């Protein structure tokens, strides 16, 4: 069965620190990859997505993610976090040929100290 693993349950950083959140998936074929963000009290929003082409994908608010096929990974990065980045981040995979639903990781809570 397909699965998505997010390595960190809770990450605490100070403002201006660099961020990298790990995401690995288990599926050998073509995948579409997503990072969603859930700010406190708000609904899930798409942060960025990868379908094909350049494996380095840029999203909103200065976030980027790199798809490394050989490692089945899609890690999320940001060079310098802000207090407003405090949120929960979910990695998700849509495996090629599936019915269209996304498989989500368990989420990583990011707390940024001002």
- Closest to another protein by CB, 32 vs 86, is 32
73's enclosing H/E stretch is strand 73-78
- Closest to another protein by CB, 38 vs 62, is 38
How far CA 1 is from CA of 21, 60, 84, 95, in Å, comes to 23, 31, 36, 11
Q: Does 42 bind another protein (CB under 8 A)?
A: yes
Q: Which residues bind another protein (CB under 8 A)?
A: 4, 6, 9, 32, 34, 36, 42-46, 49, 51, 90, 92, 94, 96-102, 104-107
């Amino acid at each position: 069965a397909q699965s998505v693993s997010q390595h960190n349950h809770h990450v605490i950083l100070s403002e201006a620190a660099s961020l990298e959140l790990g995401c690995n998936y288990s599926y050998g074929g073509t995948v579409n990859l997503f990072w969603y963000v859930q700010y406190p009290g708000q609904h899930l929003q798409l942060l960025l997505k990868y379908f094909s082409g350049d494996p380095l994908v840029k999203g909103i608010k200065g976030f980027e993610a790199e798809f490394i096929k050989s490692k089945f990974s899609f890690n999320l990065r940001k060079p310098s976090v802000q207090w407003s980045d405090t949120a929960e981040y979910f990695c998700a995979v849509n495996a090629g040929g599936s019915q269209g639903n996304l498989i989500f990781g368990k989420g990583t809570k990011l707390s940024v100290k001002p």
